[in-house]
Amino acid sequence: MSAVRRGEGLPAEPRGEDDVGPAVRGRTLRGSGTADARAGARVGSNRRHPLGTLRRMSLAEPQPYSSPLKRREFRLYFIGNAVSNVGNWVSNVVLSVFMLELTGSSFWVGLTGLGLFVPTILFSLPAGALADRVDRLGLLKRVQLAMFLLAVVLTVLSATDTADRYNVLALSFGLGIGVAIAIPTIQALIPLMVPHEQLGDAIRLNGLTFNLARALGPVLAAAALVTIGATWAFGFNALTFLALVGALTLIGRPPFPRPSTGPPGPIREGIRYAWDHLRTRWMLLSIVAIGITLDPITTLSPALARDYEGVATGAAGWIVAGWGGGAALMIIIGRRVIQHVTEHGLGWIGLLVLAGGIAGLGAAPSLPWAIVATLIAGAGYISATMAFTTTIQSDVPESLRGRVSALWTLAFLGPRAVAAVIDGALADAIGPRPTTVIFASVALAAAVFLRRVETPKGEPIPPPA
């Protein structure tokens, strides 16, 4: 297939899988070595479009919009995952406050975050390789059951006053293992729940389940901390795992299986693909910046809340809820904005908005202003994240989907294992507000860098599997 002339920005028409070969800047893409990677089509460069532009040409007439929620299987998953995520965020916020009251140290709160995120570094890539080899729906169900049992243990420890910093940290590590397996499995499962033309909306709705949970869960956590206490909050989280288990059981099997053109290979195939595919590489590095920048919202929210006059540490839930609320509102009312950002490679603008929101959180003089700042941060975060994630999922070959999804998980959560400890230690030394402003600079730097990167000539875009 001939390459597009420079400046036209339109893809050449493919003649078939046998006569197309991906290239980057005139070099043959080393790729993953799979048949899927070799089936990529070339797309021309356009200096007017920054990195991350989704540019496919459809020869068919535009179809009327149809929501993935009209499909029974996706609707069941959406409801079950939303309920489960609400429980997770109730537990996350309560656990941070619980550890702060148990130890009196933001450093130990950071270590709790470390316990949740270190498994991401250790197990995400093997989990992604596993998701490429086994039934993803069954794997996700088993992981949810294991996390249910761990949440029950945490509830019992809290109820019997036998919890200490060490067993809470150990349980955080166990729950972190579950997260490390569940997130790449979910990301690899979503494309099997909807037809390809609904993938972008399905990814946004999947993001909505997490962000509605971030908005609602912390509010419920704040209410629980001043009414029923931590034990009941942990118990509620345990029960919500069963909601997703029930939904997955009712689904039975994914309705849109996408057969791979080759057998799953080793983990390094996914890493090689992500590195050689320049657009995916820069999208994943931007996800790293997002994860680091967001860390003060979860790690420092109890300390930030305590800094506000007349506000208890339980108000940390409102800070986290502002983040989730901003993201959820952006998904609900800003669907076309997110679509425009994705299609025109404007994810860097989302990074700028995120940086401004986090800096505003550090400078906020009171809780209401902090909530406003996190609403802004949430809107920027979700705009950038959805743009980058949709681009990655649209590009990746099916045989590599689990491993590339694992790299996304590693990029988003892995750096936060270190960031949470640095965040907590720095806050103990100079205060939570200056520390929060410092972390905002990571997203700002990523936005400036991403804005300067051009779409590589001959960027490979594999067709849908």
CATH number at residue 175: 1.20.1250.20
- Whether 25 is covered by a domain: the verdict is no
- Looking up tokens 């609403």 gives 375
Residue-level pLDDT, tens digit, the chain, 465 residues: 333 333 333 333 333 333 333 333 333 333 334 444 333 433 333 333 444 444 443 334 445 567 888 899 999 999 999 999 999 888 888 888 888 888 877 778 878 877 777 887 888 888 888 888 888 899 999 999 999 999 999 999 988 888 888 888 889 899 989 988 998 899 889 988 988 888 878 888 888 888 788 778 877 887 888 888 888 999 999 999 999 999 999 998 888 887 665 566 678 888 898 888 888 888 899 999 999 999 998 888 888 887 776 555 557 778 888 888 888 888 888 878 887 888 887 888 999 999 999 999 999 988 889 999 999 999 999 899 888 888 888 888 877 888 888 888 888 877 877 887 888 889 888 988 999 999 999 999 999 888 765 444 433 333 333
CA proximity to 287, closest of 329, 348, 338: 348
CA proximity to 83, closest of 216, 227, 198, 240: 240
Query: What residues pair up with 23 in beta bridges, in sequence order?
Result: 28
- Whether 211 is covered by a domain: the verdict is yes
Q: Following DSSP, what letter does each residue of 142-156 receive, concatenated?
A: HHHHHHHHHHHHHHH
Residues 388, 349 contacting (CB under 8 angstroms)? no
List C-alpha distances in Å: 2 to 6, 23, 42.
12, 12, 8
Task: Count Cα atoms within 13 angstroms, Cβ side, for 97.
Answer: 32
* Continuous segment of H or E residues that includes residue 275: helix 267-276
CA distance 299 to 309: 20
Backbone angles phi and psi of 41, in degrees to 5: -100, 145
SS3 of residue 50 by DSSP: strand
At residue 259, the pLDDT reads: 66
CB atoms within 10 A of CB 365: 11
List C-alpha distances in Å: 177 to 127, 279, 342.
10, 29, 31
- Whether 394 is covered by a domain: the verdict is yes
Residues 322, 373 contacting (CB under 8 angstroms)? yes
Sign for the pseudo-dihedral over CA of 375, 280, 32, 417: negative
Q: DSSP state, 313?
A: G
Domain extent for 194: 68-461
For strands 23-24 and 41-42, give the pairing: unpaired
Residues 54, 388 contacting (CB under 8 angstroms)? no
Question: What does R_g of the chain's alpha carbons equal in angstroms?
Answer: 22
Residues 271, 198 contacting (CB under 8 angstroms)? no
CA distance 162 to 158: 6
72 Cβ contact partners less than 8 Å away, ≥ 6 residues apart: none
- Whether 142 is covered by a domain: the verdict is yes
CA proximity to 279, closest of 444, 120, 42, 440: 42
List C-alpha distances in Å: 122 to 111, 407, 414.
16, 12, 9
CA distance 401 to 22: 18
Count: domains in the chain = 1
At residue 76, the pLDDT reads: 94
At residue 312, the pLDDT reads: 57
SS3 of residue 41 by DSSP: strand
Tokens, residue 117: 């995120």
445 Cβ contact partners less than 8 Å away, ≥ 6 residues apart: 289
What's the gap between Cα 450 and its chain centre? 19
- Whether 427 is covered by a domain: the verdict is yes
- Whether 403 is covered by a domain: the verdict is yes
Q: What angle do CA 297, 303, 304 make, to 5 degrees?
A: 60
- Whether 43 is covered by a domain: the verdict is no
At residue 235, the pLDDT reads: 92
Q: DSSP state, 198?
A: G
Through-space distance between the first and last CA atoms of the chain, rounded to whole angstroms: 19
At residue 131, the pLDDT reads: 84
SS3 of residue 461 by DSSP: strand
At residue 23, the pLDDT reads: 33
CA distance 252 to 271: 31
CA proximity to 131, closest of 288, 123, 39: 123
One-letter amino acid of 121: I
One-letter amino acid of 429: A
CA distance 410 to 416: 10
- Whether 46 is covered by a domain: the verdict is no
Task: Count Cα atoms within 13 angstroms, Cβ side, for 165.
Answer: 15
